[in-house]
Amino acid sequence: MIEIKNVKKSFGDINALSGISLNIADGRVFGLVGTNGAGKSTLLRCLSGIYRPDEGEILVDGEPVYENVNAKQKIFFISDDQYFFPNSTPFEMMKYYETFYPSFDRERFLRLMEILKLDPKRRTNTFSKGMKKQVSILYGISAGTKYFLCDETFDGLDPVIRQAVKRLFIQEMEDKQMTPIIASHNLRELEDICEHVGLLHQGGILLSEDLDDMKLGIFKIQIVFKDAADYESIATSFKVLADEQRGSLHTLTLRGTKPQIETAVSALEPVFFEILPLTLEEIFISETEVLGYDFKNLTL
């Protein structure tokens, strides 16, 4: 388990992390989402021991991660801007990683390179962005670490490779109990693979929940009220996170359980009523809009 306890990190006048506390359980895909500048990349660098928190602590299986070789050997981190030695080849970088990760599986790395038709003897600086990302992911898969930290993992990958990477993650989780921690702006990709989601906003943790539980606590309904005053009944009974109106049709985002919403709305005998689950993207937008991060107010 990774334990994050009241972690703060600043860069000059910029507060990147403002007292984050969070636990990441083993053996599950953890998705880290947030607005631009929310602190996702900074948090991953603290988790991997690259940055030292200004306050608080991060424990990996009960050990502090910063300047702790034993803890760091349990973590492989892929940053959004991967680094390769100048003029190096994937084979040369593989030998470099072997010196830091005793469980690095050279045979598997070369086999996966062959499957993806990547030349291990070709200079990495001649690879495309997507090819470089693939190579980095294969380093992480082959390193045999318990925790795999990925910053924008699927960025630059074509749909076929994205699905292949997801299958590799699932296989590693089944075979070696690997725990992927994925930060991404692509919420639809995370929804497809993640079991638990942490939502960051302005350097703080807004929520951390199982994805299934999160979807059970917030719903979108479309409704045409029989009486305009019936809207107040719903607004009194539930927290309304969003309300879009087109003519007499209201599209409301409500916090509550499905049975509670159905019972309350049915009692009003509306002209039309439909209840829908929200996607992770819609949940993210609704939660951040509550805090004033309203993209709909932007004009082009």
Evaluate whether residue 131 is within a structural domain: yes
CATH code, 250: 3.30.70.120
Residues 180 and 252 in one domain: no
Look at residue 90 and tell me whether its pLDDT is greater than 90.
yes
pLDDT tens digits, residue range 110-122?
Answer: 999 999 999 999 9
pLDDT tens digits, residue range 147-186?
Answer: 999 998 877 788 888 888 888 888 888 888 899 999 987 7
Evaluate whether residue 28 is within a structural domain: yes
Domain closes at, from 197, 212, 227 = 212
Evaluate whether residue 300 is within a structural domain: no
Evaluate whether residue 274 is within a structural domain: yes
User: What is the predicted pLDDT for the residue at 139?
Assistant: 95
Look at residue 298 and tell me whether its pLDDT is greater than 50.
no
Residues 234 and 141 in one domain: no
Look at residue 63 and tell me whether its pLDDT is greater than 90.
yes
Residues 130 and 67 in one domain: yes
Residues 229 and 172 in one domain: no
Evaluate whether residue 146 is within a structural domain: yes
Q: How far apart are CA 78 and CA 190, in angstroms?
A: 16
Exposure class string for 17-56: b at 16+ Cβ within 10 A, else e: bbebebebeeeebbbbbbbeebbbbbbbbbbbbebebeeb
Residues 23 and 139 in one domain: yes
- Give the pair of three-digit tokens for residue 134: 């693939």
Q: Which of 52-56, 148-152, 183-187, 294-298 has the highest mean pLDDT?
A: 52-56
Query: What is the domain range of residue 163?
Result: 2-212
Residues 11 and 100 in one domain: yes
User: What is the predicted pLDDT for the residue at 292?
Assistant: 55
Residues 87 and 188 in one domain: yes
Percentage of residues in the chain having pLDDT higher than 70? 95
Q: CA 136, 137, 140: angle at the middle one, nearest 5?
A: 90
Instruction: Name, in order, each residue with C-beta under 8 angstroms of 269's C-beta and a sequence gap of 6 or more.
Output: 226
Residues 89 and 161 in one domain: yes
Residues 54 and 184 in one domain: yes
**Which is more confidently placed, 138 or 173?**
138
Instruction: Name the CA radius of gyration of the chain, rounded.
Output: 22
Residues 272 and 174 in one domain: no
Evaluate whether residue 299 is within a structural domain: no
Evaluate whether residue 230 is within a structural domain: yes
User: What is the predicted pLDDT for the residue at 295?
Assistant: 44
Backbone phi, psi, residue 89, to 5°: -105, 160
Residues 108 and 250 in one domain: no
DSSP H or E stretch at residue 139: helix 129-143
Burial class (CB in 10 A: 0-12, 13-18, 19+), 177: exposed
Evaluate whether residue 268 is within a structural domain: yes
Domain closes at, from 185, 212, 239 = 212
Asked which of 177-181, 197-201, 215-219, 247-251 is least confident by mean pLDDT, the reply is: 215-219
Could you give the number of structural domains in the chain?
A: 2
Hey, is 147 helix, strand or coil?
strand
Domain closes at, from 212, 245, 270 = 212
Residues 241 and 269 in one domain: yes
Q: Are 11 and 131 in contact (CB under 8 A)?
A: no
Q: Are 176 and 140 in contact (CB under 8 A)?
A: no
| Mean pLDDT on 247-275 | 91
CATH code, 189: 3.40.50.300
